[in-house]
Amino acid sequence: MNRILIGVFLLFLSYSKITAQENSLFWEISKKKYKTSYLYGTIHSTDSRVFSFGESVLPSLFKCKAYAGELIMQPEDIYAIVPYLFERDAAKQCKNILSKEEYFNLESLVEAKLGKEILLILPKTSPYIASLLLISPNDYSENPATIFLDIFFQEKADSLGKKLIGLETVKSQMAYIQNIEINAQKAHLLRVMKEDSSREDFEEIIAIYLAEDLKKIQELTLLASDEDPLITDDFIIGRNYIHKDGIIAAMKEQSTFIAIGAAHLPGEEGVIALLENAGFTLKAIPNHP
């Protein structure tokens, strides 16, 4: 399977040691003196099939007082991302770290994917940011929705007047990218430029997600970590602990619907296990429409 495509879907997700756990994307979380809340594993996709929820998912969101996601992306937060698109060190910018031939090929690929306008920022981006610009996870979706699944949950919660809680910040997430060694960034970009994804890869990833197969989701993330310099223990397991602490703090105050990447859920240091180790009871809820 194409490892670059896998990495797209699992970007800003996590992996840990694979362990036996019940397969489900949807969980009820409870503990005495805490407000009962709900955890949903998402995928960063607009494919219409990933919006086929079980009948209790949206009602659970409706009755919660708050919504928590990895990032809360309001208009001002989107603007906050802009400075991170540019590499301050000129020696590490795409224009200067790539050969003339490599940069010409990059320009051609980016223009074909995103249009000529994006070429205005390309020279000063870092190689890893350029690789993200190149990758579109929904090229093969025959029936795309208008927004990504994770953004759908946030916008639904916002429209209902729920309190919005970000478990992370733009700054903290972008720091992981900024800390990738520059030669590793360049090597990753060149791999992305050479590797072509396929409809078969896309369909396999969607099928695994829809099957709620947490073990296989972990396996895909581990596979992506072989070639993607972002997917490290620091980026992955460390963020599981951050999410766990944020979920506990939110549940202390109010019932909360939590939507995070599905690969955060399983494993000995996945969010499910971390919450259970903290004394919370997690119950899988059927998630088939």
State how many domains the chain has. Answer: 1
Is residue 39 within 8 Å of 67, Cβ to Cβ? no
Hey, which of 10-24, 119-133, 224-238 has the most confident mean pLDDT? 119-133
Residue 116 lies in a domain: no
Q: Give the residue numbers spanning the domain of 231.
A: 3-83+143-284
Out of 95-104, 180-189, 279-288, pick the least confident. 279-288
Q: Give the residue from 229, 239, 212 showing the smallest Cα distance to 15.
A: 239
Residue 166 lies in a domain: yes
pLDDT in tens, 172-207: 999 999 999 999 999 999 999 998 666 777 888 899
Residue 94 lies in a domain: no
Say whether pLDDT at 10 is over 60: no
Please tell me what DSSP assigns to residue 180: S
Question: Can you tell me the distance from the alpha carbon of 265 to that of 284, in angstroms, rounded to the nearest whole number?
Answer: 12
Residue 227 lies in a domain: yes
Residue 111 lies in a domain: no
